Structure 1
Amino acid sequence: MMIRVQVAIHSLQYFKHYSVQGTRTIVSMSNPLAAICQMTSTSDKNKNLETICSLVNEAKQRHASIAFFPEACDYLADNKSSIVEMAEPLDGSTVTAYKKLACDNDMWLSFGGVHEKLGNDAERISNSHILINNKGDITQVYRKIHLFDMENKETGVRLMESDYVQQGSEILPPVTTPIGKLGLSICYDIRFPEISLALRNMGSQILTYPSAFTYQTGAAHWEVLLRARAIETQCYVIAAAQTGAHNKKRVSWGHAMIIDPWGAVIAQCAEKTGIAVAEIDLEILNKIRKNMPCDEHRRTDLYPVIQPLK
């Protein structure tokens, strides 16, 4: 496996970030480590779970305190009826296995975008980002508020999330984790800076965008959007990703990455299943915010203020 090491040294002289991809981890300071995980989900739940277990084990070996998994990490089916039929409630076998995995490994786990069965609704499910602590308890469940609807008649690609997903209705406050205050989002949410600014205003230090970006949109926009969200909020951005061909209809872009509050990519996965690990240094975050106090310069007298949610 390729070893790729990038050192991000930006104009504020913060010489603490090391980007690592491969089987070795270089740690510059005693800050907590976060692992982003990349995988190719299929309709085989058991196989997907095996992949998740393997990636958690690797993250544990590399001393990560939290691991992040992409949207649709539970499964990725190729038709609406299968997607809805395969969904489980949060007390189902899949999430129960995730909770045990977190507890057994004494690690926080983020599963961003599992298919949650909603009561007796036979037509719609929720796209839910589940955060589990190291004791195996669910600490927060965010349900995706921006649904990805796209129909390209030229290419024949039609992805209409609203056909089978119940839209979420709430931006949730950040959760205190071993790496800092974590704000939850999912995939398409990244295209709406309002949610990232709201999460920053609510106290987030890290933003998460677990995703299954299509190959075309990922090639054009993935890194640009992630870096923009980091720069404008002065937050770390952690984006686990699906990669490769899931079925005959769907191919994902991949390139899972972690970005620092200065906008530098400090960890990135290759194109296959695997993980990348990076330090989360809140001292750097605080210095960036202090030296470039953008929040103090906002002209709230000229445009609407994004208020913290109660």
Structure 2
Amino acid sequence: MCIITSSMAGSAAVKAMKLRVGLCQMIVSASKSENLAKAREMIGKAVSQGAELVVLPECFNSTYNTKLFRQNAEEIPESISKINPEKSPSLVMLAEEAKKHHITLIGGSIPELQNGNVYNTATVLSWNNDRITKHQKCHLFDVDIPGGISFHESETLTPGRGFTVYDYASPSAEMKIGMGVCYDIRFPELALGYVRKGCRMLVYPSAFNMSTGPLHWEILAKGRAVDSQCFVMLCSPARDVNASYVAYGHSMIVSPWGRVVGELDEKEGVLIGDVDLAECDAVRGAIPTMKQKRSDLYELRVLDVWSVCCETGEINRLLEQGRRLARKHSSTSPLVIMKSSCGKARLMGSPLDLEMTPRHTMP
């Protein structure tokens, strides 16, 4: 068991808010039913030690293999009440466990089928909320490491297009959680964007391998924690040397000060940690990097891209209007619907950069 203790938290200006988290590092096999049963077992172990927020690893329900993503993909509806047991057995399990244990469950990630595309999608479900929050992996793992691994998620997967913030609330703590999946952790811009959105915790269900894990896993976790001054949690599958993809393991929790305050080895297990969110405020007060940014020298632009809503009729209508303008002006520029700071929807890349009125925006 890892218990986070903070000598800095007492100096925070806000009342300390604490919660116990549990990271489930499990062996993932080729059998989805076995994986779901194992996940139930690990969740139960975390809850038995008092965890209120429980995290599963990346691709916890199936083998991490580009050739198998599509056949293992499931539909992820926007709410628990709309889950189809035949099309989404993993979501059924997650919803049942969250309700059974009265917890919030970050369901690692699973392959998601949406409009014919496959995504690597993390989900968040809570016992007291019907909504399913999901984060589609933004940055796809396409690498060729000499003498190491060659892996190309883009052969099967489609990248996500947006930030995902989950508003966590329990009797003991309230906070915003920024979501990422594995390779997303290599991009500090995403983490800093989450800080702009008020996050105090970043969670990355991940599956680093034996080429990148030994050198990069810990340093990236520390880097994102120090960059963002957030708690960072990485949850990995346990290592199976006989698997086609061998995960590094070493699930860990890192404090906003950059300390590794809890870590597993490569074997199956549950990491438990008590997180005091006041430490974020203490660190940000001591080293106020976000206030010291030089906007006269550089700028981080956080864009809310609405591609996740493109399947809806309203967004499709906006896109078609943009396409008609593009044909009229013989333009081949890409069309992207974006939300502007004034609350309007903007068709970026169209010939006239047409700005829609508020009545065309999504609620």
Q: TM-score range by the shorter chain?
A: 0.7 to 0.9
Q: Is the 8 A contact 2:74 2:111 kept in 1?
A: yes
Query: In structure 1, what is the equivalent of residue 322 of structure 2?
Result: none
Read off the aligned partner of 2:144 and give its amino acid letter: E
Gaps of 5+ in 2: 77-82, 305-338, 340-363
Matched, 1:112 2:108: yes
- Residue 109 of structure 2 corresponds to residue 150 of structure 1: no
CA RMSD in angstroms, aligned pairs only? 2.3
- Alpha-carbon distance in 1 for matches of 2:114, 2:17: 42
Q: What is the identity, as a one-letter code, of the residue corresponding to 1:41? A: V
Determine which of 80, 86, 96 is the counterpart of 1:100. Answer: 96
SS at 1:64 equivalent: coil
Q: Which moved more, 1:218-227 or 1:38-47?
A: 38-47
After TM superposition, the score normalised by the length of structure 1 is 0.86
CA shift at 1:54, angstroms?
A: 1.0
- The worse-fitting range, judged by mean Cα deviation, of 43-52 and 227-236 is 43-52
1:117, 1:7 → 2: CA distance? 38
Deviation at 1:248, TM superposition (A): 4.3
In structure 2, what is the equivalent of residue 54 of structure 1?
41
**What is the deviation of 1:177?**
3.6
Q: How much has 1:293 moved relative to structure 2?
A: 1.1
> Partner residue of 2:210?
215
| Gaps in structure 1 of 5+ consecutive residues | 16-28
Give the SS at the match of 2:127.
coil
- Paired residues of 1:260 and 1:266 also in contact (CA < 8 A): yes
Structure-2 separation of matches of 1:212 and 1:196: 18
Q: TM-score, normalising length from structure 2?
A: 0.74
Aligned pairs for 1:138-287 within 5 A:
138-152=131-145, 154-155=147-148, 157-178=149-170, 179=173, 180-245=175-240, 247-287=242-282
**Alignment partner of 1:110: what SS?**
strand
Deviation at 1:118, TM superposition (A): 1.8
Deviation at 1:79, TM superposition (A): 5.3
AA matched with 2:73: A
Partner residue in 2 for 1:72: 59
In 2: Cα distance, 1:248 partner to 1:238 partner:
24
Separation of aligned partners in 1, 2:108 and 2:69: 16
Q: What percentage of aligned pairs have identical amino acids?
A: 27
Q: 1:107 to 1:220 in 2, by over 3 A?
A: same
Change (3 A) 1:307 1:77: closer
The match for 1:18 is none
Would the aligned equivalents of 1:99 and 1:137 in 2 still touch at CA under 8 Å? no
* SS of match in other structure, 1:215: coil
* 1:91-122 deviations in Å (ceiling 9; x for gaps): 31221111111101111100122111123x2x
Alignment length (residue pairs)? 288
Highest relative contact order (Cα 8 Å, sep 6+), 1 or 2? 1
Matches of 2:131 and 2:42 in 1, distance apart?
A: 20
Are the aligned partners of 2:66 and 2:155 in contact in 1 as well (CA < 8 Å)? no
Larger radius of gyration: 2
Over 4 Å off, 4+ runs: 5-10, 12-15
Name which of 60, 63, 73 aligns with 1:87.
73
8 Å contact kept, 2:109–2:122: yes
**8 Å contact kept, 1:38–1:243:** yes
